[in-house]
Amino acid sequence: MQTTGLRTADGTLIALDDSSVARRLAATTAAIDAGIADVDQLAAIADRAANPPFNVARANVLLREAAAAEETRAESNDLFAALGALLARLFPSGNANLPPGSVELTLTIAGAALLVVIAAILVRGVRERIRRETLQPGAHAEAAASAAVQLAAAERAALSGDPRAALHAFYRYAILTLAERRMLRYEPSLTDRELLERASSLPQVETLRELISLHDRAWFGLKGATVEEADHARALAERAVA
């Protein structure tokens, strides 16, 4: 008898040609058993082929996703490689072979440094704008530039219970007094660092530095000022102009 087809467990019919197996059969029982074993093995192979132990569709989806991820990673590496080549052209060195990941690390550090520089510029601009607004109050700028006016304002603020305004006026009083005496070349747009640089030759520069630090903590900070800090500012201002 010759087998021409085999039906699998799910009903699929697979065509077979077992003529080569039939030729191997002999009259002995052992040869027949070996031939039957070969047929059983072929049937098992065909059954596994028709019903694989995994989801073929799911496997195809995973393969496509893996291929897309690999393509994206390759494009990213190409970008880093191009940036690395650009950096190598701009900053040539004797050691052109960079270790893996060095380009990414360099770009990360450069980006962080750029953010720090931008933040510093913004903070400086805001502080200078606030300083100009406080030192040049619009139409009253000329009157506010008088040391006597600032001292009177400081006393009024202290008596009215506004230590923050009093501290600010004492700070202004000290700076403007030194400017009126031509001991300090003062401009409203000066930053603290620039102001202290111009006052570096004065014997009271450390007192002035302490007054400026106290003023900035209270005027630009969030907690304001206390009565004790306003009194301390008064003492520092008197020492600075003595």
pTM over 0.75: no
Residue type, 42: L
CB 19 within 8 A of CB 8: no
Is the model's pLDDT at 16 over the cut of 80?
no
> For residue 161, what pLDDT is reported?
92
Q: What is the Cα–Cα distance from 137 to 141, expressed in whole angstroms? A: 5
CB 202 within 8 A of CB 179: no
> For residue 140, what pLDDT is reported?
43
Q: What would the two tokens of residue 163 be?
A: 């230590």
What ranges make up the beta strands (E) of 147-204? none
Q: What is the Cα–Cα distance from 31 to 177, expressed in whole angstroms? A: 122
Q: What would the two tokens of residue 207 be?
A: 């007192």
Is the model's pLDDT at 138 over the cut of 50?
no
Q: What is the pLDDT of residues 160-203, one digit of tens each?
A: 999 999 999 999 999 999 988 888 888 888 888 888 888 888 89
Q: What would the two tokens of residue 189 be?
A: 């747009």
